[in-house]
Chain A
Amino acid sequence: MDEKSNKKGEVSNEISYQKIILADGRYMIFYTFSELAETISEEEAADEKDV
């Protein structure tokens, strides 16, 4: 893998990704979801309040 071509980004505040370039030139994107649990929990709480 070409470390120089690494690119990090965020889809939203709950999803981030790292894009790397493989030796043959193809890209590969690793998605991580570290804050998703918190987001869902907050939404659940909001839904419960609505009810």
Chain B
Amino acid sequence: MSELRFNLLLGEWTATATQRQDRTFLPPPDFCPLCPTKIGGFPTEVPAETYEIVAFENRFPSLKSLPETPAIESSELFPVAPSQGVCEVILYSPDHLTTLADEPVEQIYKLVKVWRHRFEELSALEFVRYVFVFENKGEAVGVTLHHPHGQIYAYPFVPPVVEKELTQTRKYKAEKQSCLLCDILDAEKRFEKRIVAENDSFIAVIPFYARYPFETHILSKRHLQTFNDFSEHEERDLAEILKQVLAAFDRLFDVSFPYIMAIHNAPSDGGNYDFYHFHIEFYPPMRTAAKLKFLAGSEAGAGMFINDTLPEVKAAELRGHIVPVIWEMKLD
């Protein structure tokens, strides 16, 4: 069963999705459900011998386009709603052993185009208010399938983290007649020490207010709201800076670096969000080669993060692993 339950105390929705308890959990590589179905092999979720990039509805969704009626009745104190939405999986490659960081920049460029197409299609659905593109990478952030993939949740509401960003950016615009992230970007450029990488269209920084040691944000230099605003050049530059940052992550401790990647577009509810600014946030849990950052009492119970490091220092470390990207131009 699946339904949305509203938390009046926090003003937030929680999805119950009991069927997800049965989802495939860390299968051996030979039985990966996200690999192509090989001739004579076991049938995976993908009925094709190979593919470039595939998007499909999650077999174990927490949101569905045609949700079942909630099992319990809604009340004043316990509001309940059908879990309407869409949960998609995006397979980055047919190669089980690769990662987004290991993929050539051309493949990441293709992925950016797919993200944009999925964003456009899902945003057009009548019941969708927000399209969230993200990736969980590594067991340290709860991954259950290692095949390189990301996800998209199309929510019937604007989720709380984005809602907070909207509140802050709207308020800043009203007070200063300026975009908060444009001003932060300018300030980070002037300060220089927290910059990790930069190209014509994007800048990657470990921001002044980073909560995780290697929390990295990629900001568009132009004041864009969503993927829909990207030029062709910006699509390529996004692929390039993603390749640089992801590869640098892996070089930090010489491991396949775990992270959560959260892509923040403006909402898809038809409102005017010209004060909002497209960006990507990475939350990597590793703070050293052997230690993880956990969300403990202050973080989970009070909402105040404690960062044991300085963003200026960690940005210098990560910047030291940035290398130029080479486009091979052979995409077929």
Chain A contact residues, CB within 8 Å of chain B: 1, 11-12, 14-15, 17, 20, 22, 24, 26-34, 36-37, 40-41, 43-44
Chain B contact residues, CB within 8 Å of chain A: 46-48, 51-57, 59, 106, 109-110, 113-114, 117, 232-233, 236, 327, 329-332
A11, A24, A29, A43: the one within 8 Å of B54 (CB): A29
Instruction: Assess whether A36 is in contact with B57, with CB atoms less than 8 Å apart.
Output: no
Closest 5 CB pairs of A and B: A28-B56, A26-B57, A37-B331, A29-B55, A31-B53
A28, A36, A40, A44: the one within 8 Å of B46 (CB): A28
A14-B113, A34-B332 known; 10 new pairs, CB 8 Å cut-off, are: A26-B59, A28-B57, A30-B51, A31-B54, A31-B117, A32-B52, A33-B110, A37-B332, A40-B109, A44-B327
Shortest distance in angstroms between A50's beta carbon and chain B's nearest beta carbon? 11
Instruction: Assess whether B232 is in contact with A43, with CB atoms less than 8 Å apart.
Output: yes
**Of all chain A residues, which has the CB nearest B113?**
A15
Shortest distance in angstroms between A4's beta carbon and chain B's nearest beta carbon? 15
Instruction: Assess whether A31 is in contact with B331, with CB atoms less than 8 Å apart.
Output: no
Question: Known: A11-B117, A15-B113, A22-B47. Is A30-B52 also a contact (CB below 8 A)?
Answer: yes
CA distance A41 to B331 in the complex (A): 11
CA distance A39 to B233 in the complex (A): 12
Using Cβ atoms and an 8 Å threshold, which residues of chain A touch B53?
A: 31
